[in-house]
Structure formats: C-alpha cells, structure tokens
Amino acid sequence: MRIRKFRKEDARKVSFLIRRCLREVNSKDYPKSTIRFLESHNSSNKLVENSKEKQMYVAAEGDNILGTASLKDDLILTVYVNPKFHGRGIGRKLMEKVESLAKKKGFKSVILPSSLTAVDFYRKVGYRKIKEKVEDNIGKVIIMKKPL
C-alpha cells in the first residue's frame, strides 16, 4: 500500500469509498438525513472540485483505493478508510502524511472536525478535543487539535 496524491480518475472510487463508510460506519451515530447530505457533498464531481482547493491523498493498493485524507492549510478533512480494512494502520498512515505536509508548510498544529464516529481514532493518534459544535445538516461535530 502506498499513499499518493488524489487524481481525477480516482474520484469515482473515492466517492464510493466515502459513501460506503457513511452508510456502514457513520450511520450508527447520525440520522439518514445527515448521511444523505454528506453523500451529496462527496460525489465524484464535488471531489474533483474540492481537489482544486485542498491537497487530497489516497491510500492505494494496486487499483484499489483503501482510504483518503485531505489537507487545507492546517485543517484536516475527509478522512475515510474502507471499513473492511479498519485496524490495519491505513488511517494512521494517511494522518501522518497530511500532518507532515502541514508541518512542512510551517504550521505548529493541525485541527480537524471529527464525526462522533471517529473521535476515538483521532484520540489514539494524538488529537484532543477542543470544543463541540452543531453544524447545519450534519449535527454534532467535535473539533480536535494536535501539536506537530
């Protein structure tokens, strides 16, 4: 497995991966309306558009996309790993990649909006909760921070 930059031709597979994660994992903590909203914001076309504004990466093994993570300045976004591969270090490697990029850009820390579902994962990789907020169409989000 290797971590590489997202390419336009990855959009369909990454969108499918995110939708799978939302349906199989995040749906335990969020209502269907939130899942549908998040799915619509991670369509293939939206991912390609978003890739122009942030650095997007994928964990790839051959033609398979196992996970994804993005960085915009000191903000980490869109971290998902195929549920079939949870617990194998893929998420940790993606986080290390985007954290190292933020550090190279001169940031002393990174922040991320965590779903309720992912808080424990982020704690394990060194993040701490700084506040909670409620976002329209999503619900409760935990803002977390990690020094670099």
Domains and their CATH numbers in the chain: 2-147 (3.40.630.30)
What does the pLDDT read at residue 90? 98
Beta pairing class for 64-72 and 109-114: unpaired
Q: What Cα–Cα distance (Å) separates residue 89 from each residue in 4, 9, 53, 141?
A: 16, 25, 27, 24
Residue 84, amino acid? K
What does the pLDDT read at residue 139? 87
pTM: 0.94
pLDDT tens, N- to C-terminus, the chain (148 residues): 999 999 999 999 999 999 999 999 999 999 999 999 999 999 999 999 999 999 999 999 999 999 999 999 999 999 999 999 999 999 999 999 999 999 999 999 999 999 999 999 999 999 999 999 999 989 899 999 999 9
Cα–Cα distance, 84 to 44 (Å, whole number):
21
What does the pLDDT read at residue 58? 98
